[in-house]
Amino acid sequence: MAVVINKEECIGCSACVSACPFGAIEMQDSKAIITDACTQCGACIDICPVAAIVREQEAKVVGMDKNDYKDVWVYIELAEGQPRNVSLELLGEGRKLADAMGQKLAAVLIGGKVEGVAKDLFANGADQVYLIEAPELAHYTTDGYTAVVTDLINNYKPSVILLGATNDGRDLGPRVACRVGTGLTADCTDLGIDEATGLVAWTRPAFGGNIMATILCPEHRPQMGTVRPSVFKKPVPDATKTGEIIRVESVAKAEDIRTKLIEVIKVCTGSCNLEEAEIIISGGRGMGKPENFSLVEDLANVLGGSVGASRAVVEAGWKPHMHQVGQTGKTVGPKIYIAAGISGAIQHVAGMSSSDVVIAINKDPDAPIFRMADFGIVGDVCEVLPLLTEEFKKIKQA
């Protein structure tokens, strides 16, 4: 929809000039004209006394037949030769979407020698596995994987593609979407089917997490989105399930890949691998000072868990961003989440609400975190955490 001015009907009153909040209307030869600064907000339409400003329907040009596109795909991200949890979580949700749409669920498996992973993908719900193996694809590269996935889409035409909102997924998703001429909804926290249209309804936070926006992609295919890890649970695998492996030749050429993996240096141990963790101990501003985070780390070491942090802690420089849990950090879903000295702001809760069991420790009995906690301890975290650590040590020794 474009906003246009009928010059023959315009009387040159300039009412629209002052009404435009973006300064996008100017007077020229006693007639109003709309400049490139127009955002099509329509404020000028209501103010025009002679209805000389209207919205003009623009012809939609869609260079694809949507009926050619079918099936739900999940991009499988690998870590040390095994699927990341988020990929298995998406197979579970993809299964629901595929069943609701009456289509197949396919996994896209790319790597060096990764065929052995296919059996796990079938066990977790996939009907088909598109397998692309090549030496130059043994490790993720932007150039190589973008070329391969783009070629795969152009040839097999999926209706829906799900990717994890990880570093690799956030790199690959938009590049592929741009090359195949479709949109991409980023950082989704929920998926569903819109009853009125049958389209995938992608839900994601907007305006700093204050509202949840539901987005549809009606005119282009495939419908693509990245989904945050741990917002869904992994399906229960069925080892008896089998499926079809579709082998696809790689179009990626070694000379076209501009990056080369020299060495993998692990800058973080399992203590900050939040997406895969089954136990997370997170500290907030209630820890008092950065030195007190050693109490959180001690408990995490005893329990074999990971260390998380609230946004306030990260912004204060007590912990790096890789530890942040919440709306602007990582979304987690461990079996046990211990919130130590965290008040429970809505942005933080949004990142850990999928946890199976939440244990809150806070000296303020009215802290919001207690409203969603399964267990609560009212007390000073600097006193409570050492006691918990010692008790768990005794239990492990016994």
pLDDT at res. 178:
95
Q: Is 348 one of the annotated binding-site residues? A: yes
Q: Is 128 one of the annotated binding-site residues? A: no
Q: Is 28 one of the annotated binding-site residues? A: no
Correct CATH for 2-56 of 3.90.226.10, 3.30.70.20, 1.10.3980.10, 3.40.50.1820: 3.30.70.20
Which element (helix H / strand E) includes 282? strand 279-283
Q: Is 311 one of the annotated binding-site residues? A: yes
Residue 224 CB burial class (10 angstroms; 0-12, 13-18, ≥19): buried
pLDDT at res. 272:
61
Q: Is 18 one of the annotated binding-site residues? A: no
Q: Is 397 one of the annotated binding-site residues? A: no
Q: What CA–CA distance (Å, rounded) separates 328 from 62?
A: 35
Q: Is 149 one of the annotated binding-site residues? A: no
Nearest in space to 182 (alpha carbons), one of 146, 216, 148, 224: 224
The tens digit of pLDDT for each residue in 217-253 reads: 998 999 999 998 888 889 999 999 999 999 999 999 8
CATH 3.30.70.20 domain locations along the chain = 2-56
| This prediction's pTM | 0.71
CATH 3.40.50.1220 domain locations along the chain = 270-397
pLDDT at res. 138:
92
Q: Which residue in this structure is represented by tokens 């025009």?
A: 48
Helix then strand then coil, in percent of the chain rounded to 5, is: 35, 25, 40
Phi, psi for 79 (deg, rounded to 5) = -135, 115
Q: Is 346 one of the annotated binding-site residues? A: yes
pLDDT at res. 331:
84
Q: Is 40 one of the annotated binding-site residues? A: no
- Is 140 in contact with 149 (CB distance < 8 Å)? no
Q: Is 379 one of the annotated binding-site residues? A: no
Secondary-structure class of domain 270-397 per CATH: alpha beta
The arrangement of strands across the sheet holding 279-283 comes to 306-309, 279-283, 336-340, 357-362, 375-378
Question: Please, which residues have CB within 8 angstroms of residue 222's CB and are 6 or more apart in sequence?
Answer: 69, 73, 153, 157, 158, 159, 160, 161, 180, 182
Q: Is 343 one of the annotated binding-site residues? A: yes
Q: Which residue in this structure is represented by tokens 């006394």?
A: 49
Q: Is 57 one of the annotated binding-site residues? A: no
Q: In Å, how far from its chain's centre is CA 396?
A: 37
Question: Please, which residues have CB within 8 angstroms of residue 120's CB and are 6 or more apart in sequence?
Answer: 83, 88, 237
pLDDT at res. 58:
55
Q: Is 369 one of the annotated binding-site residues? A: no
Homologous superfamily (CATH) for 66-256: HUPs (3.40.50.620)
The tens digit of pLDDT for each residue in 271-330 reads: 567 877 889 999 999 999 999 999 999 999 999 899 999 999 999 999 988 899 987 788
Give the chain's residues under pLDDT 50.
none
CATH 3.40.50.620 domain locations along the chain = 66-256
**How many Cα atoms sit within 13 Å of 156 on the Cβ side?**
23
* Count of Cβ atoms closer than 10 Å to residue 178 Cβ: 13
pLDDT at res. 55:
85
Q: What CA–CA distance (Å, rounded) separates 219 from 214?
A: 16
Q: Is 325 one of the annotated binding-site residues? A: yes
pLDDT at res. 131:
97
